[in-house]
Amino acid sequence: MLKNNSKTLLIIIALLITTSLQAAKKSLLTPLINQVESKVIDWRRHFHANPELSNREFETAKVIAEHLKSLGIEVQTGVAHTGVVGILKGGLPGKVVALRADMDALPVTEIVDLPFASKVKSTYAGQNVGVMHACGHDTHVAILMGVAEVLAQVRQTIPGTVKFIFQPAEEGAPEGEEGGAELMVKQGVLKSPDVDAIFGLHISSKTPVGVLSYRPGGIMASVDDFRIRVHGKQVHGSTPWNGVDPIVVSAQIINSLQTIVSRQMPLTKQAAVVTIGSIHGGVRSNIIPAEVELIGTIRALDSSMRKQIHRKIRQIATNVAASMDATVDIDIPMASSYPVTYNTPALVEHMLPTMRRQAGENNVVLIDAITGAEDFSFFAKEIPGFYFFLGGKPKNVKTKDAPAHHTPEFFIDESSMKLGVKTLSHMALDYLKN
């Protein structure tokens, strides 16, 4: 009887200590998060006004590295070209958790009327373009810089190590270059010290401020870009029978590709998409060109369907061209290829209580998988990972009226970022603690 009572007493004491530590951490982090919020907004505005394209994030990386060094965090630079990694060693032994933010902007010309709107111009794929943070990576960087500042101030209480990964080229490295999460993994970013789990978030312009959305298992699709070059025979436009018209061949290929998903994929299993986003060929109205180039994207939420789509694209393009005396060259992938972004179900279940404490029970929402893609998938392919969405839509804006990502009108409510700092900070500590 005495033995059982002693065991019960030990359990009660352990529970009391755990509860006290949780309360202490909560009260300790809250004022630190409040203090850093204005800095996070300022950082975001700086990055928004000074966006940089993939693998060219030199100034962004410099600002990040200087900030981490000022916090006494060990810093590695030049990872995967421009990436920055910070290592914060806690005062107690434990596991290693990584937190990731992507840094790159897009070749989009901003039209939002903001005092810190981007006016930056650059060159992309040989064209002069505007540059804009049209996907919210500026918020991701600012949030993670805020988390680093918060956790650095409580480092002595951290049971383990936090690795901050600021990643370049999430939107895809320029053609002919390596980059992004895939290159970071190749270069050992998840090693020395070995990372046990990784978390990442993405701002969402269509989700209300204050809401966190998630999904266990596959949350985002795989992506493969592709290029089809159709080779015909150049001829005067008045006598098409004397040549082979690659424009007509391309039109037939495009129409036929749309039957892959609509007629050949088991869509009750998972979603898939095949899109042609660019077609180029010819210089004037009365010349049938010798070549046309098609560029597109493939999205899939199932690996076997992904492989089948690749095979079908090659088969259709080759056979349609041959039937019209043309030939094709096919590149799949052309430049970027990401696997499905997969959230480890056990890790998701483990961290949901933390998310609910920070956002509120009703503000943590299970969502359907989406056909957007993320190269966070390369991290989560190696170790347990959890990727979720942070609401950034102003509450007075209807979802249908909120501008989409990758558009010149893209906009987020900056009040959303505080919840991002809170959630990532507590997820890191709770993971290490447990």
431 catalytic per annotation: no
Please give the backbone phi and psi of residue 342, each rounded to the nearest 5 degrees, phi first: -115, 120
DSSP 82: T
Tokens in use for 265? Answer: 């994929």
The residue type at 120: V
* Positive/negative CA dihedral, 83, 214, 15, 21: positive
Q: Which of 394, 294, 431, 411 is nearest to 44 (CA)?
A: 411
Question: Dmax of the chain from CA atoms?
Answer: 103
124 catalytic per annotation: no
C-beta of residue 293 within 8 angstroms of C-beta of residue 279: yes
C-beta of residue 214 within 8 angstroms of C-beta of residue 366: yes
The set of long-range contacts for 263-267, using a CB threshold of 8 Å and a minimum separation of 24, is: 264/308, 264/312, 265/305, 265/308, 265/309, 266/305
- Kindly name the residue from 338, 342, 387, 431 that is annotated as catalytic: 338
CA–CA separation, 283 vs 290, rounded Å? 11
Between the CA atoms of 288, 291, 296 and 298, what dihedral angle is there, to the nearest 10 degrees? 120
C-beta of residue 384 within 8 angstroms of C-beta of residue 197: yes
3-state per-residue secondary structure call for 231-295? ECECEECCCHHHCECHHHHHHHHHHHHHHHHHHHCCCCCCCEEEEEEEEECCCCCCEECCEEEEE
CA–CA separation, 217 vs 340, rounded Å? 9
Place of tokens 């483990």: 350
Q: Which of 137, 139, 148 is nearest to 68 (CA)?
A: 148
Between the CA atoms of 38, 39, 41 and 43, what dihedral angle is there, to the nearest 10 degrees? 170
CA–CA separation, 360 vs 212, rounded Å? 9
* Cβ atoms within 10 Å of 116's Cβ, excluding its own: 15
C-beta of residue 281 within 8 angstroms of C-beta of residue 247: yes
Tokens in use for 342? Answer: 């997969």
DSSP three-state, residue 398: coil
Q: Which residues form the catalytic set? A: 338, 414
